[in-house]
Amino acid sequence: MPHKHKSKSWAALKQAGNECFKTGQYGDATNLYSRAIKELEKSGKKNTEDLAILYSNRAASYLKDGNCAECVKDCDTSLELSPFNMKSLLRRAAAYEALERYRHAYIDYKTALQIDCNIASAHDGTNRMTKALTEADGPSWREKLPPIPTVPLSMREKFHQQAAGNAMQPPAAPQHNGIKQTGRPAPSDKDVKKALALKEEGNSLVKKGEHKKAIEKYSQSLKHNPNEVTTYTNRALCYLSVKQFRDAVRDCTEALRMDGSNVKALYRRAQAHMALQDVGACVDDLNNLLQVEPKNTAALKLLQEAQQKK
């Protein structure tokens, strides 16, 4: 019967690619994503969002394999299909950095920060690029930069709604961000905006070192939008700073309920467990984190400390 030889659907190929990627088989993941791209393009469905994710996923495999030029190409395609796609911006920035194309990397890191100003890797990248460009071009290095694109407000709001697992978004969005639907009613646009404004106020207070005041702002923000993962991880960071470790654990657990592979939530919960002398729970969180990011230096360092305490 001929239908037995039916080629795998692009979704099944993507899933298989994701599994290979998780276990570090980046070459196999690249091949599976390539087949998924072919299948999806062949199906004739103009599925730009899904196609953008496939290119972005393949870019991640190339990046892990050190094939930075191909990573940049795939991110370019992904960003044409889905402008200001956060993952593609960060992957392209990392590839540009590895290729020593520091100006381009700086632009991508800065663009990502326009969409979400809480991304630690983009802050770190911006700082590294600033240093590298100052060394290369001297104090007037900014004059040699290409223009930084302005991210439209609608894009920023869309990203924050997706990150909140907003039920009004198309189903691809929550899955794309690794965010599970929370089962809570989706907040109104007005509430999302209010929550975002309060969260920004909290972020400003954190920069000034005013963690207790920031906790209040984040708590108010969560009343308007309880589905925003980064507000929980930000508040957890503040709880760690003021030594309220059980509260930090609770916030990270809530964030992980929505996004099971959230690196910040896993790392901050591990820090809180360590402070509470729960070394076993700390080690579990760090091992889960290292499955997502095997080379995370902060996690590797904390794991070493935890294992010495065992």
Strand residue runs (E) in the chain: none
The mean pLDDT value for 99-126 works out to 90
pLDDT for the residue numbered 182: 43
The CA distance from 190 to 125, in Å, is: 33
Average pLDDT score over residue span 272-289:
91
Domain coordinates in residue numbering, the chain: 2-144, 187-309
pLDDT at 178 over 80: no
Is it the case that residue 8 has pLDDT exceeding 80? no
pLDDT digits (tens, 9 = 90+) for 187-210: 788 888 899 999 999 999 988 999
- Owner of token pair 């919960």: 269
pLDDT for the residue numbered 46: 67
Residue range 116-162, pLDDT digits in tens: 887 888 888 998 999 999 988 888 888 888 888 888 888 888 887 77
CA atoms of 204 and 64, how far apart (whole Å): 34
Per-residue confidence band for 185, with pLDDT thresholds at 50, 70 and 90? low
Confidence band of 102 (pLDDT split at 50, 70, 90): very high
pLDDT, position 144:
87
Residue 252, token pair as written in the block = 């990270």
**Which is more confident, 272 or 182?**
272
Judge contact between 71 and 91, C-beta under 8 A: yes
Closest CA to 197 of 149, 157, 227: 157
Whether domain 187-309 has CATH 1.25.40.10: the reply is: yes
- Whether pLDDT at 302 is above 90: yes
Fold agreement (2-144, 187-309): yes
How many angstroms separate the CA atoms of 279 and 310, rounded?
Answer: 7
How many residues does this entry show for the chain? Answer: 310
| Confidence band of 184 (pLDDT split at 50, 70, 90) | low
Residue for token pair 């994701």: 18
User: Structure tokens of 72?
Assistant: 């940049």
**Which helix (H) or strand (E) segment is 309 a member of?**
helix 297-309
The CB-side HSE value for 260 (13 A sphere, CA atoms) comes to 5
Residue type, 152: P
Give CA separation, 290 vs 15, 22, 26, 97, 115, in Å.
Answer: 20, 10, 16, 23, 26
98 close to 68: Cβ distance less than 8 angstroms: yes
Taking Cα atoms as reference points, which of 76, 126, 120 lies closest to residue 102? Answer: 126
How many percent of the chain have pLDDT more than 90?
52
**Contact of 259 with 291, CB cutoff 8 Å:** no
Residue 93 has pLDDT above 90, yes or no: yes
Q: Looking at the domain 2-144, which fold is it?
A: 1.25.40
Question: What is the average pLDDT across 267-291?
Answer: 92
Mean of pLDDT values over 212-224? 93
Task: Spell out the residues 6+ positions from residue 276 whose beta carbon is closer than 8 angstroms to its own.
Answer: 245, 246, 249
Name the burial class of residue 2, with classes exposed (0-12), middle (13-18) and buried (19+) by CB atoms within 10 angstroms of its CB. exposed
Q: pLDDT grade, residue 164 (50/70/90)?
A: low
Predicted confidence (pLDDT) at residue 273 exceeds the cutoff of 70: yes
pLDDT in tens, 32-52: 999 999 999 888 776 888 999
This prediction's pTM: 0.53
pLDDT category at 172 given cuts 50, 70, 90 is very low
